[in-house]
Structure formats: structure tokens, C-alpha cells
């Protein structure tokens, strides 16, 4: 068999023998349409040959204009961990956003900036980017202005706990949809900064949710996390509290659809495991893994954002929590070993991994649902609804005043939060 005059000399399973016979110096994986599972299988065959290998960019990257077809690159860990792509085309979202304003909090962060990119693709009338991080906000605003010169784009530097700043934004731009991605997320850091975690993740969420309801937004969507399930960390507790705030906000403001979207770790986000591993590799340091059996659910940033947008369009998401079917959790140790292999570090004699032990607030395994929660299927097979009830527990909204008073006194308010969450879990 030949392809455009080039002889086909064997299958992937014959790779080792073919490479030796041909005196190959490098392997090129030229299968841009390969699914992550296919690519994992091909890469496993390449590993046994002992040569460096590169990959032709995937079709999605080429079509997006990010990479030219002739540009080869190293295989990334994201290529192997991703699942089948979710269709980005959401005509119903374009119809819903036409002539409206959209507000994204935390717009300069990993999730928030990708939300901004994908929302901009659906051509709202106005896109308001809200964040405290001046430099990162500057760059995402500049990027979007270049890509979408016709879009009315507003970058607002502000704090989600600043009620006056939020009031001004809502009164001025009247957002129809609000995607709330602003949050403190680093587990060990929040363990020693509980006051700021509660202030930002709980009080800040209520400020934005309440403003959304009072100003007649059609929908408010909270970006949540699997660490909110049976929380054992300050960060997890505050995100669970944020979920409860959103569910109760539905009762307080029935004219607005309130929802939360829960998912696991995202690959490549600032401070996440992959950038840390890559920095350690670049510096010639061992890769640090907390525990040999530690696992996490992973998804790419675009996947997470697609979930948020798709879930926001589901008719049964009102007053509920949505979650992605995330497949099987990944062992962090396997992630580190794969990264060493893909980077060529093992061929260069650098394959050290050290175990540091679980830090405060961390656990071996995460879950997407608590024991008292059930999940329901939706029209989208990749999204499920978490069935959880606010009834029978202590409402959190009436206690926010006590929490704010504690914060004003310089306390962290964790005692109030703990009493609410303990009651909820056992109810």
C-alpha cells in the first residue's frame, strides 16, 4: 500500500522493528484526528522504542488557527488526559445572548478568561470582565479586543465583596447572565487564610448572587469544585457554603435562574499540578507528589468552560448543581511518570519523584457527590444534575450577617460556617 507515493511499511505494533531497520532518529505521530484514547495507545508504542517523538497538532488546534499544519510539537500530557471533545457550537446560547450583556467575575483567572473567550464567540452585546488582578485583566481584555473588535468590552477592576462596586456594575450594564468564577482556590493557602477564604468565597458569592437577583439577571452560574463534596479543607467548606448560598438565592430571587457547576481539577490552571511539574523539570528538580496513591479527576480548561456553558442552558438546572461525567480519576504518580516520559527526562537520566505527604486540607481521593446526594441524567449525556436539598437544615443566608460581623472583628467566622455544614451533612 502507498499513500501519495509513500510506502506503508507496517502498523504501530511493528514500530520498534521498523525504527531499528530504518535507522530512525525521531518518531512523528501524524494522526491529527486521533482521539485521546488512540493517542495514548500510540504513545505507549513509541515509549518502547526509546526515540524522541513529536505530534502533529490536533484538528481542533489547526481549525482554531492556533497552530499551522506543518508545525510539529511535543506530545503534551493534556493530549493524553483529555476526553472526546465537547461540541462548542451552542446556537441556543448565541440566541440567548443576542442583544444582552454578560458579566464574568474572576475574568482574569484560568477558568474566567476561558469563559470570556468562549462567551465572546457567541457575540453578546456587551461583555463585562470583573477581576482584582490588574495585569491579567489587561491581557485578557487586549486579547479579546483583537479577536472581537466589534464586541463592546468592559474591563472592571474590583472586589466581589465590594457591594458599592458591584451595584455600579449591575446598574450600569444590566447583565442578563452572570458567570461567577471568582474564588480563592489553593487548598493549603486557604488553610492558613480562612478569613479571606470565607470573605471571598462565601460573602463574595452572596454579594454577586444577590445583585444578580435584585437587578433582574436571567441567570447566575457559580463555578464550583469537587472539593465542596464532604469538605475537609477550608477551601472546600467555603465552596460548599457558596453552593448553598446559590441554592438558597433561588428561593430569595425566583425571577432569576440560579445554578452551580461542580467539576474536578483543571489541567494547566495557575498553581495546578502540571505547571508545577513543568517548572520542576525545567529547573532539574525532582517531581513532588504528595502520596503514591493520591488521585484526582482531571479535565482541560476548555472542557470545564464548555460544561459551564452547556449546563447553563439546561432547563432542569434551575436551583440545582450540575456536574460533568468526568470518567475515572487519575493517579498523580502516573501523571508525573507520564510527564517525565513525554519530556524525555527519563532518557536523559532525570526520573526522580519524591513523596512529600498530604498537606493540611488535602485528601487522597476526591468525589463528585456526597453520600446523601444522587445524580440525575439530563438531555446532555456529559452533564448530570446533583439532587440535593436545602430543606431540613439550618439556612445559611440568615447567618451571613453573623459571619460578616465576625470578619469585621478580625475573626474568621469558621465556627458559624462549621455549624451550618455539619448540620447539612447529617440532615
Residues marked as catalytic: 227
CB of 246 closer than 8 Å to CB of 260: yes
Angle at 225 between CA 339 and CA 92, to 5 degrees: 100
What is the per-residue DSSP string for 132-162? S-HHHHHHHHHHHHHH-TTSEEEEEE--TT-
Question: Does residue 399 contact residue 206 with C-beta atoms inside 8 Å?
Answer: no
d(CA 414, CA 427): 20
| Alpha-carbon span 289 to 299, nearest angstrom | 19
Return phi, psi of residue 211, to 5°: -60, -40
CA distance 357 to 291: 6
Q: What residues contact 231, with CB distance under 8 A and at least 6 apart?
A: 237, 239, 240, 421
The C-alpha cell of 25 is what?
A: 532518529
Contact, 113 vs 304, CB < 8 A?
A: no
Rg of the chain taking only CA atoms, in angstroms: 23
Are the beta carbons of 337 and 345 closer than 8 angstroms? no
β-pair type (287-289, 353-355)? parallel
Q: Minimal CA–CA distance to 26: which of 73, 77, 81? A: 73
Residue 118 class from Cβ within 10 Å (0-12 exposed, 13-18 middle, 19+ buried)? middle
Helical axes 332-343 vs 273-282, angle rounded to 10°:
40
Amino acid at each position: 500500500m502507498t499513500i501519495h507515493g509513500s510506502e506503508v511499511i507496517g502498523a504501530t505494533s511493528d514500530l520498534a522493528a521498523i525504527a531499528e531497520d530504518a535507522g530512525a532518529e525521531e518518531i512523528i505521530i501524524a494522526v491529527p484526528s486521533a482521539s485521546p484514547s488512540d493517542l495514548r495507545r500510540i504513545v505507549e508504542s513509541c515509549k518502547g522504542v526509546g526515540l524522541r517523538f513529536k505530534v502533529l497538532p490536533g484538528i481542533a488546534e489547526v481549525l482554531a488557527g492556533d497552530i499551522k499544519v506543518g508545525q510539529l510539537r511535543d506530545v503534551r500530557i493534556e493530549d493524553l488526559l483529555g476526553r472526546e471533545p465537547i461540541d462548542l457550537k451552542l446556537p441556543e446560547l448565541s440566541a440567548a445572548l443576542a442583544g444582552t450583556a454578560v458579566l464574568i467575575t474572576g475574568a482574569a483567572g484560568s477558568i474566567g478568561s476561558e469563559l470570556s473567550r468562549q462567551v465572546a464567540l457567541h457575540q453578546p452585546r456587551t461583555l463585562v470582565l470583573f477581576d482584582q488582578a490588574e495585569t491579567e485583566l489587561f491581557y485578557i481584555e487586549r486579547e479579546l479586543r483583537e479577536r472581537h473588535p466589534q464586541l463592546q468590552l468592559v474591563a472592571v477592576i474590583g472586589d466581589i465583596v465590594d457591594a458599592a462596586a458591584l451595584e455600579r456594575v449591575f446598574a450600569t450594564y444590566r447583565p442578563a447572565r452572570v458567570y461567577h468564577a471568582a474564588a480563592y482556590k489553593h487548598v493549603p493557602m486557604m488553610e492558613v487564610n480562612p478569613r479571606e477564604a470565607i470573605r471571598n468565597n462565601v460573602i463574595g458569592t452572596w454579594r454577586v448572587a444577590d445583585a444578580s437577583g435584585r437587578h433582574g439577571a436571567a441567570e447566575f452560574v457559580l463555578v464550583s469544585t469537587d472539593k465542596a463534596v464532604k469538605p475537609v479543607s477550608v477551601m472546600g467548606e467555603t465552596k460548599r457554603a457558596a453552593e448553598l448560598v446559590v441554592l438558597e438565592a433561588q428561593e430569595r430571587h425566583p425571577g432569576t435562574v440560579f445554578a452551580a457547576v461542580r467539576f474536578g481539577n483543571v489541567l494547566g490552571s495557575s498553581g495546578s499540578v502540571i505547571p508545577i511539574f513543568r517548572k520542576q523539570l525545567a529547573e532539574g528538580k525532582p517531581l513532588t507528589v504528595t502520596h503514591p496513591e493520591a488521585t484526582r479527576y482531571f479535565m482541560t480548561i476548555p472542557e470545564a468552560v464548555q460544561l459551564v456553558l452547556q449546563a447553563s442552558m439546561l432547563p432542569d438546572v434551575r436551583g440545582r448543581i450540575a456536574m460533568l461525567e468526568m470518567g475515572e480519576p487519575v493517579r498523580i504518580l502516573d501523571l508525573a511518570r507520564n510527564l517525565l516520559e513525554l519530556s524525555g527526562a527519563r532518557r536523559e537520566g532525570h526520573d526522580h519523584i519524591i513523596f512529600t505527604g498530604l498537606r493540611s486540607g488535602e485528601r487522597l481521593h476526591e468525589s463528585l457527590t456526597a453520600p446523601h446526594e444522587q445524580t440525575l441524567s439530563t438531555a446532555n449525556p456529559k452533564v448530570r444534575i446533583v439532587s440535593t436539598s436545602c430543606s431540613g437544615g439550618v439556612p445559611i443566608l440568615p447567618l451571613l450577617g453573623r459571619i460578616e460581623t465576625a470578619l469585621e472583628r478580625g475573626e474568621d467566622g469558621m465556627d458559624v460556617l462549621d455549624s451550618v455544614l455539619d448540620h447539612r451533612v447529617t440532615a
